[in-house]
């Protein structure tokens, strides 16, 4: 019988985390909490792809520095981003003398990496594991939609890709531990709208959460926070509706990293933030901080990824999605 919910016996702790972000994120409600910002979004590089790589490099460097670790102390580095061939990771991390595992889970990659790193630690394979993910608004828009110069209008359901990167070091010390993980299954409900990733991702998040509550025998009220990665306004509403139909009410405990990172009323981001960097920076600067301070004790984080490809959309396919889950406890 399939064991979908993983409960860790040898529990990994989050030793440190570090997040870097761009200008719009700095101007948002969490702006003052980021470890580092670049107000021209360039991070001293001359292409958006290199800027994204530089964010990953700085995030890993910062997390290692906080943990007082050098390259040879870290056993493995899980990494990914949204760009074709994951060039943010490939180029950004080239200088690190650490074994490298490349991931692709779209915006779910932050939690995918944390879940894999937790398994590696829990299984006694490694003692110190690092993970990092990133996204960059300018690189993503060019690749998935239109180059910025085109000035395309944005639909009300469109989300704003976060410019940011978050890195995490897992090991045997810290105040916050990852106690459970559940890997997502791909779900495709037929969404073909390139400007409505929230609707494409919500059913996969629903699938993972439904399985989680069934297998864990926990209920939403057991958690101080159930944080989804980047469903945005549209996707969050769909998720809550879908779960409510099954009698699972997360309305009092749910928030979405895409809704936390920007102020939708004040900032022109439509349905909210998205991207591999969205959950990565919000988890680091906001959720983890509140866990460390004892404001939260028990949190679920679900990374939500729309496995969207312009090529297959042009061919008439719809958008599958995958959502991975971790449970964080103080």
Answer yes or no whether residue 132 interacts with its own copies by CB under 8 A. no
For its own copies, which is the closer residue by CB, 14 or 98? 98
Answer yes or no whether residue 170 interacts with its own copies by CB under 8 A. no
Specify the 3-state DSSP secondary structure of 322.
strand
Instruction: Decide: 62 and 18 in contact? Cβ < 8 Å.
Output: yes
Answer yes or no whether residue 103 interacts with its own copies by CB under 8 A. yes
Answer yes or no whether residue 125 interacts with its own copies by CB under 8 A. yes
Beta carbon of residue 89, minimum distance to its own copies (angstroms, whole number): 8
Q: Largest Cα–Cα distance of the chain, in whole Å?
A: 53
Rounded distance between C-alpha atoms, residue 196 and residue 190, angstroms: 12
Answer yes or no whether residue 217 interacts with its own copies by CB under 8 A. no
For its own copies, which is the closer residue by CB, 27 or 215? 215
Answer yes or no whether residue 215 interacts with its own copies by CB under 8 A. no
Distances from the Cα of 194 to the Cα of 81, 169, 199, 238, 321, angstroms: 18, 34, 10, 17, 13
Q: How many CB atoms lie within 10 A of CB 39?
A: 9
Residues 150, 153, 154, 156, Cα dihedral to 10°: 180
Instruction: Decide: 178 and 170 in contact? Cβ < 8 Å.
Output: yes
Answer yes or no whether residue 47 interacts with its own copies by CB under 8 A. yes
Residues 31, 36, 41, 47, Cα dihedral to 10°: -160
Beta carbon of residue 67, minimum distance to its own copies (angstroms, whole number): 14
Beta carbon of residue 320, minimum distance to its own copies (angstroms, whole number): 5
Question: What is the DSSP pairing of strand 298-306 with strand 254-256?
Answer: unpaired
Rounded distance between C-alpha atoms, residue 190 and residue 179, angstroms: 34
Answer yes or no whether residue 11 interacts with its own copies by CB under 8 A. no
Tell the residue number behind the tokens 């399939």, with chain if given: 2
Beta carbon of residue 56, minimum distance to its own copies (angstroms, whole number): 12
Answer yes or no whether residue 226 interacts with its own copies by CB under 8 A. no
Answer yes or no whether residue 84 interacts with its own copies by CB under 8 A. yes
Q: Which of residues 262-321 bind its own copies (CB under 8 A)?
A: 307-312, 315, 317, 320
Q: Which of 188, 193, 215, 237 binds its own copies (CB under 8 A)?
A: 188
Answer yes or no whether residue 260 interacts with its own copies by CB under 8 A. no
Could you list the residues that contact its own copies (CB under 8 A)?
Answer: 1-4, 6, 47, 49-50, 71-76, 80, 83-87, 90-91, 93-94, 96-106, 112, 116, 119-120, 122-127, 143, 182-186, 188, 307-312, 315, 317, 320, 322
């Amino acid at each position: 019988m399939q064991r979908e919910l993983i409960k860790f016996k040898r529990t990994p702790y989050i030793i440190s985390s570090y997040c870097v972000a761009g200008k719009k994120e700095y101007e948002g409600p969490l702006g003052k909490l980021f470890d580092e910002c670049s107000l021209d979004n360039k991070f001293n590089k001359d292409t958006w792809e290199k800027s994204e790589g530089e964010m990953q490099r700085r995030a890993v460097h910062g997390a290692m520095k906080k943990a007082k670790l050098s390259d040879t102390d870290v056993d493995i580095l899980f990494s990914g981003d949204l760009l074709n061939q994951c060039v943010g990771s490939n180029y950004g991390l080239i200088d690190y003398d650490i074994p490298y595992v490349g991931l692709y889970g779209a915006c779910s990659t932050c939690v995918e990496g944390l879940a894999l790193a937790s398994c590696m630690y829990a299984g006694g394979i490694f003692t110190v594991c690092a993970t990092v993910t990133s996204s960059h608004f300018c690189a993503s828009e060019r690749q998935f939609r239109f180059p910025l110069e085109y000035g395309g209008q944005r639909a009300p359901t469109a989300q704003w890709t976060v410019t940011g990167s978050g890195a995490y070091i897992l090991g045997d010390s810290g105040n916050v531990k990852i106690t459970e993980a559940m890997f997502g299954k791909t779900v495709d409900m037929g969404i073909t709208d390139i400007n409505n990733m929230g609707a494409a991702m919500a059913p996969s998040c629903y699938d993972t959460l439904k399985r989680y509550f069934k297998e864990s025998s926990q209920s939403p009220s057991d958690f101080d926070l159930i944080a989804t990665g980047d469903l945005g306004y549209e996707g969050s509403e769909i998720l809550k509706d879908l779960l409510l139909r099954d009698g699972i009410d997360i309305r009092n405990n749910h928030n979405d990293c895409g809704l936390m990172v920007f102020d939708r009323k004040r900032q022109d981001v439509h349905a909210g933030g998205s991207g591999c960097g969205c959950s990565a920076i919000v988890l680091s600067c906001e959720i983890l901080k509140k866990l460390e301070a004892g404001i939260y004790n028990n949190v679920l984080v679900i990374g939500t990824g729309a496995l969207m490809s312009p090529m297959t959309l042009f061919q008439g396919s719809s958008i599958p999605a995958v959502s991975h889950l971790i449970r964080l406890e103080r």
